[in-house]
Structure 1
Amino acid sequence: MPANVGAVKVNNVSSSAVFNIGDVFSINPVSSAKTYTGGGSFNTGNGTRVQISNSYNYVYDKDIIDQETK
């Protein structure tokens, strides 16, 4: 069934956003990122204890591109 849409005002659409008006079957936004962090960087919670004597981040990537994003 067709959608009847009235006036629409768009102030901003970010680079990773999806904007749709009307009928749609599927919307599949795609993005990718590579993050380098040290040991214990993404720990969350109450009373978390992390003891790391030495933490090294090796950021050398010989093939440069990991996987193509379509």
Structure 2
Amino acid sequence: MPAIVGVAQVISIGSSSVFHIGDTYKIMPISTAKTFSGAGSFNTGDGLQVYNRQSATNTFDQDMIDQGNILNV
């Protein structure tokens, strides 16, 4: 369903990023990444208070294989 979108300001976008407004049939990434981070790592905002008593990030990947992007050319 079409929509009317107001002003959109994009400061920066990465080389493998997707910026999308409106209807689409398919968005296909051409690169992948795996990110590990601890508790409270990606929090943003004004006056943010994060209390982490004890944090441990499990980076063990049992199957060693993730979903690929082979057909996204």
Partner of 2:31, secondary structure, is: coil
Larger Rg: 1
Q: Displaced runs of 4+ in structure 1, greater than 3 A?
A: none
1:8 — aligned with what? none
Pairing of 1:1-70 with structure 2 (within 5 A): 16=16, 28-70=28-70
The CA RMSD over aligned residues, in Å, is 2.5
Structure 2: how far apart are the matches of 1:35 and 1:28? 19
Q: Which has the higher contact order (CA 8 A, sep 6+)?
A: 2
Which consecutive unaligned segments of at least 5 residues does structure 1 have?
1-14, 18-26
TM-score with structure 1 setting the length: 0.56
Cα distance, 1:62–1:40 mapped onto 2, change above 3 Å: same
Report the TM-score, using the length of structure 2 for normalisation: 0.54
How many residues are paired up?
Answer: 48
Counterpart CA distance in 1 for 2:55 and 2:48 is: 18
- Percent identical pairs in the alignment equals 49
Is residue 29–residue 69 contact of structure 2 (8 Å, CA) maintained in 1?
no
